[in-house]
Structure 1
Protein backbone atom coordinates (compact mmCIF):
# COMPACT_ATOMS: atom_id res chain seq x y z
CA UNK A 1 0.00 0.00 0.00
CA UNK A 2 1.26 3.46 -0.88
CA UNK A 3 0.49 4.81 2.58
CA UNK A 4 -0.83 8.35 2.84
CA UNK A 5 -1.37 8.81 6.57
CA UNK A 6 1.07 11.29 7.96
CA UNK A 7 2.87 11.83 4.68
CA UNK A 8 2.57 15.61 4.87
CA UNK A 9 4.51 15.59 8.13
CA UNK A 10 7.22 13.50 6.50
CA UNK A 11 7.80 16.13 3.83
CA UNK A 12 7.19 19.26 5.86
CA UNK A 13 8.48 18.33 9.33
CA UNK A 14 11.92 18.35 10.90
CA UNK A 15 14.69 16.14 9.44
CA UNK A 16 14.56 13.99 12.58
CA UNK A 17 10.87 13.30 11.91
CA UNK A 18 11.65 12.24 8.36
CA UNK A 19 14.30 9.76 9.48
CA UNK A 20 12.10 8.36 12.24
CA UNK A 21 9.32 7.69 9.75
CA UNK A 22 11.81 6.42 7.18
CA UNK A 23 13.27 3.95 9.66
CA UNK A 24 9.87 2.55 10.64
CA UNK A 25 8.61 2.42 7.06
CA UNK A 26 11.77 0.72 5.85
CA UNK A 27 11.45 -1.91 8.58
CA UNK A 28 7.80 -2.50 7.70
CA UNK A 29 8.47 -2.90 4.01
CA UNK A 30 11.71 -4.82 4.44
CA UNK A 31 9.67 -7.54 6.13
CA UNK A 32 7.06 -7.25 3.38
CA UNK A 33 9.67 -7.56 0.62
CA UNK A 34 11.36 -10.42 2.46
CA UNK A 35 8.30 -12.48 1.54
CA UNK A 36 10.04 -13.04 -1.81
CA UNK A 37 12.14 -15.60 0.10
CA UNK A 38 9.08 -17.84 -0.07
CA UNK A 39 10.00 -18.43 -3.73
CA UNK A 40 13.25 -20.08 -2.65
CA UNK A 41 11.57 -22.10 0.09
CA UNK A 42 8.99 -23.32 -2.43
CA UNK A 43 11.79 -24.48 -4.75
CA UNK A 44 12.91 -26.79 -1.97
CA UNK A 45 9.43 -27.86 -0.81
CA UNK A 46 6.08 -26.23 -1.50
CA UNK A 47 4.30 -28.28 1.20
CA UNK A 48 6.87 -27.05 3.72
CA UNK A 49 6.15 -23.46 2.71
CA UNK A 50 2.37 -23.87 2.87
CA UNK A 51 2.36 -25.63 6.24
CA UNK A 52 4.88 -23.20 7.68
CA UNK A 53 2.86 -20.16 6.61
CA UNK A 54 -0.38 -21.75 7.82
CA UNK A 55 1.05 -22.42 11.29
CA UNK A 56 2.53 -18.91 11.54
CA UNK A 57 -0.78 -17.39 10.45
CA UNK A 58 -2.79 -19.36 13.02
CA UNK A 59 -0.38 -18.41 15.80
CA UNK A 60 -0.59 -14.76 14.77
CA UNK A 61 -4.41 -14.78 14.66
CA UNK A 62 -4.56 -16.31 18.14
CA UNK A 63 -2.10 -13.76 19.48
CA UNK A 64 -3.97 -10.82 17.96
CA UNK A 65 -7.30 -12.17 19.21
CA UNK A 66 -5.96 -12.40 22.76
CA UNK A 67 -4.61 -8.85 22.52
CA UNK A 68 -7.91 -7.41 21.27
CA UNK A 69 -10.19 -9.37 23.62
CA UNK A 70 -8.17 -9.59 26.81
CA UNK A 71 -5.67 -6.79 26.34
CA UNK A 72 -2.02 -7.01 27.22
CA UNK A 73 0.78 -8.10 24.95
CA UNK A 74 2.47 -11.25 23.78
CA UNK A 75 5.73 -11.95 21.99
CA UNK A 76 3.84 -11.95 18.69
CA UNK A 77 2.14 -8.61 19.25
CA UNK A 78 5.39 -7.07 20.48
CA UNK A 79 7.07 -8.08 17.23
CA UNK A 80 4.15 -6.76 15.19
CA UNK A 81 4.23 -3.48 17.13
CA UNK A 82 7.66 -2.79 15.65
CA UNK A 83 6.27 -2.57 12.14
CA UNK A 84 2.63 -1.51 12.34
CA UNK A 85 1.45 2.10 12.20
CA UNK A 86 -0.14 3.87 15.14
CA UNK A 87 -3.57 3.80 13.48
CA UNK A 88 -3.52 0.00 13.79
CA UNK A 89 -3.29 -0.07 17.60
CA UNK A 90 -7.04 -0.46 18.22
CA UNK A 91 -7.88 -2.87 15.40
CA UNK A 92 -6.52 -6.18 14.11
CA UNK A 93 -3.25 -5.98 12.20
CA UNK A 94 -4.49 -7.61 9.00
CA UNK A 95 -1.35 -7.04 6.92
CA UNK A 96 0.60 -10.11 8.10
CA UNK A 97 -2.50 -12.31 7.74
CA UNK A 98 -3.39 -11.23 4.21
CA UNK A 99 0.29 -11.35 3.19
CA UNK A 100 0.58 -14.94 4.31
CA UNK A 101 -2.74 -15.91 2.70
CA UNK A 102 -1.74 -14.21 -0.54
CA UNK A 103 1.51 -16.18 -0.77
CA UNK A 104 -0.20 -19.47 0.08
CA UNK A 105 -2.95 -18.82 -2.48
CA UNK A 106 -0.42 -18.17 -5.23
CA UNK A 107 1.41 -21.47 -4.73
CA UNK A 108 -1.77 -23.48 -4.18
CA UNK A 109 -3.67 -22.17 -7.20
CA UNK A 110 -1.12 -21.51 -9.94
CA UNK A 111 1.76 -23.24 -11.71
CA UNK A 112 5.26 -22.61 -10.41
CA UNK A 113 6.34 -19.67 -12.59
CA UNK A 114 2.96 -17.93 -12.35
CA UNK A 115 3.11 -18.29 -8.56
CA UNK A 116 6.62 -16.83 -8.49
CA UNK A 117 5.50 -13.87 -10.58
CA UNK A 118 2.54 -13.31 -8.27
CA UNK A 119 4.69 -13.36 -5.12
CA UNK A 120 7.39 -11.14 -6.64
CA UNK A 121 4.75 -8.59 -7.68
CA UNK A 122 3.35 -8.63 -4.15
CA UNK A 123 6.71 -8.44 -2.39
CA UNK A 124 8.41 -5.80 -4.53
CA UNK A 125 5.57 -3.85 -6.14
CA UNK A 126 3.49 -3.17 -3.06
CA UNK A 127 6.55 -2.82 -0.84
CA UNK A 128 8.45 -0.35 -3.02
CA UNK A 129 5.33 1.69 -3.87
CA UNK A 130 4.50 2.18 -0.21
CA UNK A 131 8.08 3.01 0.77
CA UNK A 132 8.69 5.50 -2.04
CA UNK A 133 5.20 6.99 -1.88
CA UNK A 134 5.24 7.56 1.86
CA UNK A 135 8.74 9.04 2.00
CA UNK A 136 9.11 10.83 -1.33
CA UNK A 137 5.66 11.05 -2.92
CA UNK A 138 4.75 14.65 -3.72
CA UNK A 139 2.44 14.44 -6.73
CA UNK A 140 -0.96 13.06 -5.72
CA UNK A 141 -3.67 13.50 -8.36
CA UNK A 142 -7.26 12.99 -7.28
CA UNK A 143 -7.46 9.98 -9.58
CA UNK A 144 -5.05 8.10 -7.28
CA UNK A 145 -7.05 8.98 -4.14
CA UNK A 146 -4.11 10.19 -2.08
CA UNK A 147 -1.49 7.85 -3.50
CA UNK A 148 1.47 9.24 -5.34
CA UNK A 149 2.73 9.15 -8.91
CA UNK A 150 6.21 8.46 -7.55
CA UNK A 151 5.01 5.39 -5.67
CA UNK A 152 3.04 4.04 -8.63
CA UNK A 153 5.91 4.59 -11.05
CA UNK A 154 8.38 2.84 -8.76
CA UNK A 155 5.91 -0.05 -8.43
CA UNK A 156 5.69 -0.44 -12.19
CA UNK A 157 9.45 -0.32 -12.77
CA UNK A 158 10.44 -2.75 -10.02
CA UNK A 159 7.77 -5.30 -10.97
CA UNK A 160 8.74 -4.96 -14.64
CA UNK A 161 12.36 -5.74 -13.75
CA UNK A 162 11.51 -8.65 -11.42
CA UNK A 163 9.10 -10.18 -13.93
CA UNK A 164 11.62 -9.83 -16.75
CA UNK A 165 14.10 -11.88 -14.71
CA UNK A 166 11.58 -14.54 -13.68
CA UNK A 167 10.25 -14.97 -17.24
CA UNK A 168 13.80 -15.04 -18.65
CA UNK A 169 13.32 -12.03 -20.88
CA UNK A 170 9.62 -12.06 -21.76
CA UNK A 171 9.10 -8.30 -22.00
CA UNK A 172 5.45 -8.52 -23.06
CA UNK A 173 4.40 -10.60 -20.07
CA UNK A 174 6.55 -8.48 -17.77
CA UNK A 175 4.85 -5.32 -19.02
CA UNK A 176 1.32 -6.61 -18.44
CA UNK A 177 2.20 -8.02 -15.01
CA UNK A 178 3.75 -4.69 -13.99
CA UNK A 179 0.80 -2.71 -15.33
CA UNK A 180 -1.77 -4.88 -13.54
CA UNK A 181 0.17 -4.75 -10.27
CA UNK A 182 0.45 -0.96 -10.47
CA UNK A 183 -3.29 -0.62 -11.15
CA UNK A 184 -4.26 -2.84 -8.20
CA UNK A 185 -1.77 -1.17 -5.87
CA UNK A 186 -3.35 2.20 -6.67
CA UNK A 187 -6.78 1.00 -5.55
CA UNK A 188 -7.94 1.78 -1.97
CA UNK A 189 -7.76 -1.84 -0.83
CA UNK A 190 -5.64 -1.31 2.30
CA UNK A 191 -4.24 -4.63 3.55
CA UNK A 192 -6.39 -6.64 1.15
CA UNK A 193 -4.11 -5.80 -1.76
CA UNK A 194 -1.90 -8.52 -0.27
CA UNK A 195 -4.57 -10.96 -1.46
CA UNK A 196 -5.77 -9.27 -4.62
CA UNK A 197 -2.33 -8.72 -6.18
CA UNK A 198 -1.12 -12.35 -6.09
CA UNK A 199 -4.50 -13.73 -7.15
CA UNK A 200 -4.85 -11.39 -10.13
CA UNK A 201 -1.21 -11.51 -11.19
CA UNK A 202 -1.11 -15.28 -10.82
CA UNK A 203 -4.23 -15.64 -12.99
CA UNK A 204 -2.89 -13.25 -15.63
CA UNK A 205 0.46 -15.03 -15.73
CA UNK A 206 -1.29 -18.38 -16.09
CA UNK A 207 -3.40 -17.06 -18.96
CA UNK A 208 -0.25 -15.75 -20.64
CA UNK A 209 1.26 -19.21 -20.64
CA UNK A 210 3.03 -19.48 -17.32
Structure 2
Protein backbone atom coordinates (compact mmCIF):
# COMPACT_ATOMS: atom_id res chain seq x y z
CA UNK A 1 0.00 0.00 0.00
CA UNK A 2 1.35 3.37 -1.01
CA UNK A 3 2.11 5.75 1.88
CA UNK A 4 0.96 9.37 1.67
CA UNK A 5 3.78 11.80 0.93
CA UNK A 6 4.81 14.49 3.41
CA UNK A 7 3.55 17.05 0.88
CA UNK A 8 0.07 15.45 0.87
CA UNK A 9 0.04 15.27 4.67
CA UNK A 10 1.01 18.93 4.88
CA UNK A 11 -1.75 19.86 2.41
CA UNK A 12 -4.31 17.87 4.41
CA UNK A 13 -3.14 19.48 7.68
CA UNK A 14 -3.65 22.91 6.10
CA UNK A 15 -7.12 21.85 4.97
CA UNK A 16 -8.04 20.69 8.49
CA UNK A 17 -6.82 24.00 9.93
CA UNK A 18 -8.72 26.02 7.31
CA UNK A 19 -11.96 24.08 7.70
CA UNK A 20 -11.72 24.19 11.51
CA UNK A 21 -12.04 27.97 11.12
CA UNK A 22 -15.10 27.38 8.92
CA UNK A 23 -16.71 25.08 11.45
CA UNK A 24 -16.07 27.54 14.30
CA UNK A 25 -18.40 29.99 12.54
CA UNK A 26 -21.23 27.68 13.68
CA UNK A 27 -21.16 29.58 16.99
CA UNK A 28 -21.99 32.89 15.31
CA UNK A 29 -25.80 32.41 15.05
CA UNK A 30 -25.91 31.74 18.80
CA UNK A 31 -23.85 34.86 19.49
CA UNK A 32 -26.03 36.90 17.14
CA UNK A 33 -29.15 35.77 19.00
CA UNK A 34 -27.71 37.17 22.23
CA UNK A 35 -25.63 40.18 21.13
CA UNK A 36 -26.81 40.95 17.59
CA UNK A 37 -25.39 44.42 16.89
CA UNK A 38 -22.25 43.88 18.94
CA UNK A 39 -21.40 40.79 16.89
CA UNK A 40 -22.24 42.53 13.60
CA UNK A 41 -19.91 45.41 14.47
CA UNK A 42 -17.15 43.02 15.58
CA UNK A 43 -17.48 41.07 12.31
CA UNK A 44 -17.19 44.25 10.23
CA UNK A 45 -14.15 45.34 12.26
CA UNK A 46 -12.64 41.87 11.80
CA UNK A 47 -13.11 42.16 8.01
CA UNK A 48 -11.48 45.58 7.96
CA UNK A 49 -8.64 44.45 10.22
CA UNK A 50 -7.99 41.37 8.11
CA UNK A 51 -7.97 43.44 4.90
CA UNK A 52 -5.45 45.85 6.40
CA UNK A 53 -3.25 42.97 7.59
CA UNK A 54 -3.32 41.42 4.11
CA UNK A 55 -2.26 44.69 2.44
CA UNK A 56 0.57 45.00 4.96
CA UNK A 57 1.58 41.34 4.51
CA UNK A 58 1.80 41.80 0.74
CA UNK A 59 4.13 44.75 1.37
CA UNK A 60 6.33 42.55 3.55
CA UNK A 61 5.03 43.81 6.91
CA UNK A 62 3.95 40.95 9.16
CA UNK A 63 1.01 41.49 11.52
CA UNK A 64 1.50 39.27 14.60
CA UNK A 65 -0.80 36.24 14.72
CA UNK A 66 -3.06 37.35 11.83
CA UNK A 67 -0.37 37.00 9.16
CA UNK A 68 0.74 33.68 10.69
CA UNK A 69 -2.81 32.27 10.62
CA UNK A 70 -3.32 33.50 7.05
CA UNK A 71 -0.05 32.01 5.86
CA UNK A 72 -0.75 28.71 7.64
CA UNK A 73 -4.25 28.37 6.19
CA UNK A 74 -3.62 29.69 2.67
CA UNK A 75 -3.64 27.44 -0.37
CA UNK A 76 -0.94 27.14 -3.01
CA UNK A 77 -3.03 29.30 -5.38
CA UNK A 78 -3.02 32.13 -2.78
CA UNK A 79 0.76 32.56 -2.71
CA UNK A 80 1.73 36.19 -3.32
CA UNK A 81 -1.93 37.26 -3.47
CA UNK A 82 -4.55 38.81 -1.21
CA UNK A 83 -6.18 35.81 0.53
CA UNK A 84 -9.90 36.29 -0.13
CA UNK A 85 -11.32 33.27 1.71
CA UNK A 86 -11.57 34.72 5.25
CA UNK A 87 -12.86 38.06 3.97
CA UNK A 88 -15.58 36.40 1.87
CA UNK A 89 -16.45 34.24 4.88
CA UNK A 90 -17.11 37.26 7.09
CA UNK A 91 -18.92 39.22 4.36
CA UNK A 92 -21.16 36.22 3.66
CA UNK A 93 -22.07 35.91 7.33
CA UNK A 94 -22.70 39.65 7.75
CA UNK A 95 -24.82 39.91 4.59
CA UNK A 96 -26.98 36.90 5.42
CA UNK A 97 -27.54 38.03 9.00
CA UNK A 98 -28.42 41.58 7.97
CA UNK A 99 -30.74 40.60 5.11
CA UNK A 100 -32.70 37.72 6.61
CA UNK A 101 -34.43 36.67 9.82
CA UNK A 102 -32.84 34.53 12.51
CA UNK A 103 -34.01 31.14 11.27
CA UNK A 104 -32.95 31.86 7.68
CA UNK A 105 -29.51 33.28 8.46
CA UNK A 106 -28.90 30.45 10.92
CA UNK A 107 -29.51 27.91 8.15
CA UNK A 108 -27.26 29.89 5.80
CA UNK A 109 -24.38 30.25 8.26
CA UNK A 110 -24.55 26.66 9.52
CA UNK A 111 -24.65 25.42 5.93
CA UNK A 112 -21.43 27.30 5.29
CA UNK A 113 -19.85 26.07 8.52
CA UNK A 114 -20.66 22.39 8.14
CA UNK A 115 -21.63 21.89 4.49
CA UNK A 116 -18.63 23.58 2.95
CA UNK A 117 -16.31 22.68 5.82
CA UNK A 118 -17.01 18.95 5.93
CA UNK A 119 -17.31 18.63 2.13
CA UNK A 120 -13.70 19.62 1.64
CA UNK A 121 -12.42 17.22 4.31
CA UNK A 122 -14.51 14.34 2.95
CA UNK A 123 -13.24 15.10 -0.54
CA UNK A 124 -9.63 15.02 0.62
CA UNK A 125 -10.10 11.77 2.56
CA UNK A 126 -12.46 9.77 0.35
CA UNK A 127 -12.69 11.66 -2.92
CA UNK A 128 -11.65 9.31 -5.70
CA UNK A 129 -14.22 10.38 -8.32
CA UNK A 130 -13.82 13.96 -9.54
CA UNK A 131 -16.70 16.08 -10.83
CA UNK A 132 -15.88 17.50 -14.30
CA UNK A 133 -15.43 21.31 -14.59
CA UNK A 134 -15.69 21.85 -10.83
CA UNK A 135 -12.14 22.78 -9.78
CA UNK A 136 -11.29 19.31 -8.44
CA UNK A 137 -14.53 18.85 -6.45
CA UNK A 138 -15.38 15.22 -5.71
CA UNK A 139 -18.54 13.11 -5.49
CA UNK A 140 -17.69 12.20 -1.88
CA UNK A 141 -17.32 15.87 -0.94
CA UNK A 142 -20.58 16.83 -2.62
CA UNK A 143 -22.46 14.00 -0.92
CA UNK A 144 -21.07 15.07 2.47
CA UNK A 145 -22.10 18.65 1.70
CA UNK A 146 -25.68 17.50 0.96
CA UNK A 147 -25.91 15.43 4.15
CA UNK A 148 -24.44 18.16 6.36
CA UNK A 149 -26.69 20.90 4.99
CA UNK A 150 -29.77 18.68 5.23
CA UNK A 151 -28.94 17.92 8.87
CA UNK A 152 -28.47 21.56 9.88
CA UNK A 153 -31.54 22.71 7.91
CA UNK A 154 -33.70 20.04 9.47
CA UNK A 155 -32.29 20.75 12.94
CA UNK A 156 -33.22 24.43 12.57
CA UNK A 157 -36.54 24.14 10.70
CA UNK A 158 -37.85 20.68 11.60
CA UNK A 159 -39.17 20.27 8.03
CA UNK A 160 -37.92 17.46 5.76
CA UNK A 161 -39.03 18.52 2.26
CA UNK A 162 -37.71 22.09 2.45
CA UNK A 163 -34.49 20.87 4.09
CA UNK A 164 -33.91 18.49 1.18
CA UNK A 165 -34.38 21.37 -1.29
CA UNK A 166 -31.94 23.59 0.64
CA UNK A 167 -29.42 20.74 0.87
CA UNK A 168 -29.63 20.06 -2.86
CA UNK A 169 -29.20 23.77 -3.66
CA UNK A 170 -26.22 23.99 -1.30
CA UNK A 171 -24.61 20.94 -2.87
CA UNK A 172 -24.99 22.43 -6.37
CA UNK A 173 -23.50 25.77 -5.26
CA UNK A 174 -20.59 24.00 -3.54
CA UNK A 175 -19.90 22.06 -6.76
CA UNK A 176 -19.55 25.25 -8.81
CA UNK A 177 -16.00 26.51 -9.50
CA UNK A 178 -16.51 29.59 -7.32
CA UNK A 179 -13.24 29.24 -5.39
CA UNK A 180 -13.35 31.60 -2.37
CA UNK A 181 -16.62 33.21 -3.47
CA UNK A 182 -18.52 30.18 -2.18
CA UNK A 183 -17.96 31.59 1.32
CA UNK A 184 -20.12 34.54 0.28
CA UNK A 185 -22.63 32.78 -1.98
CA UNK A 186 -23.53 29.79 0.22
CA UNK A 187 -24.80 31.62 3.34
CA UNK A 188 -26.58 34.37 1.41
CA UNK A 189 -28.15 32.10 -1.23
CA UNK A 190 -29.30 29.46 1.24
CA UNK A 191 -30.62 32.02 3.71
CA UNK A 192 -32.53 33.61 0.79
CA UNK A 193 -33.85 30.23 -0.35
CA UNK A 194 -34.93 29.48 3.22
CA UNK A 195 -36.85 32.75 3.25
CA UNK A 196 -38.69 31.76 0.08
CA UNK A 197 -39.47 28.26 1.33
CA UNK A 198 -40.61 29.24 4.82
CA UNK A 199 -42.77 32.29 3.97
Q: What does the per-residue CA deviation read over 1:159-178, in whole Å, with 9 as the maximum and x for residues that have no partner? A: 111111111x2001110110
Q: Aligned equivalents of 1:43 and 1:73: distance in 2?
A: 35
Partner of 1:193: 182
Tell whether the 8 Å contact from 2:118 to 2:144 is kept in structure 1 after alignment. Answer: yes
Q: TM-score, normalised by structure 1?
A: 0.88
1:90 equivalent to 2:76? Answer: no
1:74-113 superposed matches below 5 A: 74-75=63-64, 76-113=66-103
CA contact (8 A) 1:46 1:107 kept: no
- 1:103, 1:182 → 2: CA distance? 18
Note closer, same or farther for the CA distance 1:21–1:13 as it changes in structure 2 (3 Å cut): farther
Residue number among 15, 28, 53 corresponding to 1:25 in the alignment = 15
Aligned partner of 2:52 in structure 1 is 62
Give the conservation status (yes or no) of the 8 Å contact 2:122–2:141. yes
Deviations 1:32-77 (A, max 9, x none): 1111110111111110111010111111101101122x21321221
**Contact 1:138–1:148 (CA<8 Å) still a contact in 2?**
yes
C-alpha separation in 2, matches of 1:24 and 1:205: 32
In 1: Cα distance, 2:156 partner to 2:3 partner? 40
Q: Secondary structure at the match of 2:73?
A: coil
C-alpha distance in structure 2 between counterparts of 1:152 and 1:116, whole Å: 21
Partners in 2 of 1:156 and 1:136 — Cα distance?
15
1:73 corresponds to 2:62: yes
Looking at both structures, which has the greater relative contact order when contacts are Cα pairs under 8 Å and sequence separation is at least 6?
1
- Indicate if the aligned counterparts of 2:150 and 2:164 stay in contact, CA closer than 8 A: yes
Q: How many residues were matched structurally? A: 198
Question: Does residue 1:155 correspond to 2:149, yes or no?
Answer: no
Deviations along 1:93-126, one digit per CA (max 9) or x if unpaired, are 1001000000001110001100100101111111
Does residue 120 (structure 1) correspond to residue 78 (structure 2)? The answer is no
Matched residue of 1:122: which SS? helix
Q: Which residue of 2 aligns with 1:205?
A: 194
